Amino acid sequence: MLQRKYIVFTQDTYLRCSIDALMQASFTEKILCFCDVDSFPSLDALYRAIESVCADTRVIIISRGLWLSRLLGSLVDLEMTDDFYKWRLCIFKGQRNHSRKIIDKILSIRQLKTLTRREIYVIHLLLAANSVSEAAKLARFDVKFFQAITIAIARKYNLRNSNELHFFVRKYMLWS
């Protein structure tokens, strides 16, 4: 008989109990790591949790549709609203997201690898300013031109607009 092994990262008690109940009937050969990414306060906390506990294991990313799950959009396996059968299918035949792949994605977001030099400059301005228009004034750019740049960056990170990008940069880009 195979031993049941799994790790759950979440602050949601109901989610933890439902995963426990689901995994009681499931027998897996390797350790599974369930990760509710939206329960983490920052990218750094998510990075540290996955790196320390889930070394070289299969990670199932659970999304609530909030900030961090939007950034990791291509790696998300399950939504909170998915039905029981999709959860079971994901456990046995889902994506093979290993911890190294998720850590690499977090590092590429944090290190701004997908951005041009001007977009990195805009990110640093957003970190220094309290609003998008204030950041445009710091750069001596026209506000509409600056908004266009921030919207392009927001699309790269699966965010909706420049205000969401500014919020993301101020809250999640800073390492704790």
pLDDT number for residue 3: 54
CA neighbours within 13 Å on the CB side: how many for 54? 25
Q: Copy the structure tokens of residue 155.
A: 């699309």
- Domain boundary (110, 132, 160) is at 110
Residue 4 has pLDDT above 60, yes or no: no
Specify the pTM: 0.79
Note whether 19 and 95 are same-domain residues. Answer: yes
Note whether 17 and 54 are same-domain residues. Answer: yes
Residue 170 has pLDDT above 70, yes or no: yes
Query: Which helix (H) or strand (E) segment is 148 a member of?
Result: helix 143-156
Note whether 16 and 101 are same-domain residues. Answer: yes
pLDDT number for residue 29: 67
* Phi and psi, residue 156, nearest 5°: -65, -30
Residue 176 has pLDDT above 70, yes or no: no
CA 107 to chain CA centroid, nearest Å:
11
Q: In terms of residues, how long is the chain?
A: 176
- The one-letter code for the residue type at 30 is K
Give the pLDDT band of residue 28 (cuts 50, 70, 90): low
Neighbours of 31 (CB within 10 A): 17
pLDDT number for residue 114: 85
Q: Span 14-39, mean pLDDT?
A: 83
Q: Copy the structure tokens of residue 26.
A: 């499931």
The region that residue 66 occupies, defined by phi over 0 for left and psi between -120 and 50 for alpha, beta otherwise, is beta
- Domain boundary (68, 89, 110) is at 110
pLDDT-above-90 percentage for the chain = 22
User: Do the beta carbons of residue 101 and residue 76 sit within 8 Å?
Assistant: no
Note whether 18 and 82 are same-domain residues. Answer: yes
Note whether 86 and 104 are same-domain residues. Answer: yes
Note whether 78 and 10 are same-domain residues. Answer: yes
Q: Copy the structure tokens of residue 81.
A: 């609203």
Neighbours of 126 (CB within 10 A): 27
Q: Number of structural domains, the chain?
A: 2
Note whether 86 and 134 are same-domain residues. Answer: no
Q: Span 76-93, mean pLDDT?
A: 86
Task: For 96-143, write each residue's pLDDT tens digit.
Answer: 788 888 889 888 888 888 899 999 999 999 999 998 999 999 999 999
pLDDT number for residue 146: 94
In a domain, 140, yes or no: yes
pLDDT number for residue 174: 59
Q: How far is the C-alpha of 98 from the C-alpha of 107, rounded, in Å?
A: 15
Note whether 14 and 71 are same-domain residues. Answer: yes
Residue 71 has pLDDT above 50, yes or no: yes
Which domain range does residue 106 map to?
6-110
pLDDT number for residue 133: 92
E strands along the chain, which residues? Answer: 6-9, 32-36, 58-63, 78-79
Note whether 63 and 106 are same-domain residues. Answer: yes
- The one-letter code for the residue type at 12 is D
- Domain boundary (62, 81, 110) is at 110
Q: Which residue has the higher pLDDT, 104 or 65?
A: 104
Q: How far is the C-alpha of 151 from the C-alpha of 159, rounded, in Å?
A: 8
- The mean pLDDT of the chain is 85
